[in-house]
Amino acid sequence: MTRDIVFLIDGSDDVGSRFSAIREFVAKMVDSFDLDQGKDKVAVVQYSNNPELNFNLNTYNTREEVFNHVTSLKPKGGRPQYIGKALQFVRDNVFVPNAGSRRNEGAKQILIVFAGGRSKDSPRGPASMLKAAGIVTFAVGSRLSNSAELQVISSERNYTYSISDFVSLPRIQQNLMSHLNQVGVEEETEGVQSDEKGRDIVFLLDGSDSTRNAFSAIQDFLYNIIERFEIGLKKDRVAVIQFSNLTQAEFFLNSFTRREDVLTAVRKLSHKGGRPLNTGAALQYLRDNVLTASAGSRRLEGVPQVLILLNGGKSSDNVDTPASALKQQGVFVIGIGTSSSDINELQKISSDPSLTLSVTEFTELPSVQEQLSSVMSTVLVRATPVTPAVTGKKLNTFYIPRSV
C-alpha cells in the first residue's frame, strides 16, 4: 500500500516553544515511514493566520532528506489560527498531482493536523470537502484547542487526540501509528476500485417556466462539462432529465455510448416548461426509472452513481423522503442553485451541505464549472451492496479518480 502523508502544523505564536515538541514527534514518525522505497511520501505545511508550504510530496525522495528537513523546521509565527483556510490550502495545493499526490494511482491520502488553539474561521466546510475527497484526517490538539473543532476535522471520532500539552505527544505516538497503519486496509480487502467502469452521471435540470430565459446557459454548461467526460460503454455514461410539475427523460444512461452523440443530444434539448416545481417527485422518478439496470445504471456492478441537480426555485412538494432514499442507495448528489432556490432544501438534497454550489442566476454557471469539476474528480462515493441482508457486507468504497 502506498501513502501520501501530509502534516499540517500549527506554527503560530501561540504554540511558541512547544513547536520543538511537535517537530520531534513528526521526525520520529517520518523515521518509521517507508520513504526510501517510494511507498510513502511526505509533505509539511505550517499555518497561523495564513498557511505556508514547507515542502511538497514530490520535494524529497529519501527518508534522510525528509528527516533532515523536518528536524530543521522553524515555526512560521503569526496569529491567530485559521484552520479552515489551512485545510482548504492543503486540499487545493498539496493533495494534487502536480504537488506529488498519487491519488490517481490509488495511493492513500492522509492528513495529520496539529492544532494548538481555537480556529478563527470555521473548519467545517473545508473538512467536509477533504472527507468527500477521500482524504483520511487525524487531528491532534492541546488543552487550548477546541475539542468539537478537532472532531469536525477528523475523519473518525477515534482519529481525534487531545493532550494537555504538546510535550506529551510521545504518549499518543504508538496509538496514532497503529491507526495510521490500518488506514486503507479495509478498503483494500472489501472495497472495489471502479476506475475501469467509469461513472453513471445523471443531470436533473429545472425545466420550469422560471428557467426559460436561462435554459441556453444551462445547455452550454452541460455541454462544457460533458465535453470533458470519457464516455463509453465501460467508461462514463450520461443521462439528462428535465422536470417542473412533471418529470421528463431526455435520454437515459444507455441511450448513447459516444461523447459526440451525447453532446449532439444536449445541443438539441428544448426547454420543457411548466409549473410548479416538484423536485421531490423528480428525485423519486430518478430512483424508479433512471438509476435502474434497465435504463443503463451499473450500480449493481459497483459503478459510482452521481446526480447533478440544477434547481432554480423552491419545491412545491416534499424532498425529504426521496432525497434520503437516493443517499441510502449510494447516489452522490451535488446541488446547484440560484438566488431563487431554497438553500436549506438544496443542502438537504445534496450528499453533504458543503457540496451545494450557488450562483446568482444560471447565466453565471461558468463561475462554478471548475469547482464542480474538482468535486467530481475527487469525491469518495459510497454505494450500498446489492443484497446487504444476504451478504451482510459493509458499505463498499469506490473512488472517482479521473478529472471531469
How many structural domains compose the chain?
2
Residues 294 and 327 in one domain: yes
Residues 161 and 232 in one domain: no
Give the pLDDT score at 218: 94
Give the pLDDT score at 185: 56
**Last residue of one domain, picked from the residues 190, 222, 256:** 190
| Per-residue model confidence as pLDDT tens digits over 218-229 | 999 999 899 888
Reading the block at residue 88, the C-alpha cell is 482548504
Nearest Cα residue to 238 out of 220, 257, 224:
257
Residues 220 and 148 in one domain: no
Is residue 28 assigned to a domain?
A: yes
DSSP three-state, residue 323: helix
Residues 254 and 325 in one domain: yes
**87 Cβ contact partners less than 8 Å away, ≥ 6 residues apart:** 8, 113, 123, 126, 127, 129, 130, 153
Residues 32 and 95 in one domain: yes
Reading the block at residue 179, the C-alpha cell is 491507526
Do residues 166 and 371 touch, judged by C-beta distance below 8 A?
no
Indicate which CATH number applies to the domain containing 244.
3.40.50.410
Q: Up-side HSE of residue 210: CA atoms within 13 Å toward CB? A: 21
Residues 140 and 241 in one domain: no
Q: What phi and psi values does residue 5 have, to the nearest 5 degrees?
A: -115, 120
Residues 68 and 39 in one domain: yes
Average pLDDT, the chain: 86
Give the pLDDT score at 358: 86
| Per-residue model confidence as pLDDT tens digits over 318-361 | 999 999 999 888 899 999 999 999 989 999 999 877 778 889 99
Residues 235 and 379 in one domain: yes
Residues 321 and 359 in one domain: yes
Residues 259 and 375 in one domain: yes
Percent of the chain with pLDDT over 70: 89
The predicted model scores a pTM of: 0.51
- CA angle centred on 211, ends 210 and 212, rounded to 5°: 95
Q: Which residues of the chain fall below pLDDT 70?
A: 184-197, 377-404
User: What residue numbers bound the domain in which 156 lies?
Assistant: 3-190
Is residue 404 assigned to a domain?
A: no
Give the pLDDT score at 105: 84
Number of helical H runs and strand E runs in the chain: 14, 14
Reading the block at residue 260, the C-alpha cell is 459526440
